Amino acid sequence: MSAAPQSTCPLCAGDGGLVLVRTPNYRVVRVEGDDAALHPAFYRLIWNAHVAEFSDLSAADRVACMEGVARLERVLREQLAPTKINLASLGNMVPHLHWHVIARFEGDAHFPAPIWAAPRREALALPRALDAVDQAVVAAWAEATTGAAD
């Protein structure tokens, strides 16, 4: 069913970023390296199983996936007050289900274009240290697990 074999999949072979949260279904990572150079508040929710399309998931798994995306989005909004959150699930390069969750700011390197377009200007500094944002992501899942939130 998948468009590329699991054996060559980088999201099966590796974590795909700095892992902040692991659940039985997915992991939440912060993207590092060149992909995040211009947009450091760039996170991903990566489904653990090698499925290509969102509709490959069961109804319950689709809910779990999007609840995770929404939780991550809420944390970025609270921590960074971005102009907009961009959600994207492309998978053209890596056909292993993952959602990009990116805090965007007016005046950032691509705004208002997608981050995959040609850059228009230099990178914009974030309003808050990424360590603090990462810690808030970890805390959001810890609180949800213990029933203190949601």
Smallest gap, in angstroms, from Cβ of residue 136 to Zn ion?
Answer: 28
Burial 57-74 (b: 16+ CB within 10 A, else e): beeebeebbeebbebbbe
User: Residues 27, 30, 39, 50: which binds Zn ion (CB under 5 A)?
Assistant: 50
* Closest to 41 measured CA to CA, from 143, 140, 137: 137
Q: Nearest approach, Cβ of 119 to Zn ion (angstroms)? A: 29
What mask, x for binding Zn ion by CB under 5 A, covers residues 94 to 123? --x---------------------------
The residue type found at 11 is L
4 binds Zn ion (CB under 5 A): no
Q: Cis omega (within 30 of 0) on the bond before 127?
A: no
Strand partners, 98: 46
Question: Nearer Cβ to Zn ion, position 13 or 81?
Answer: 13
Taking the complex as a whole, how short is the minimal distance between the CB of residue 124 and Zn ion, in angstroms?
32
Using CB under 5 A as the criterion, which residues of the chain lie in contact with Zn ion when the complex forms?
Answer: 9, 11-12, 50, 96
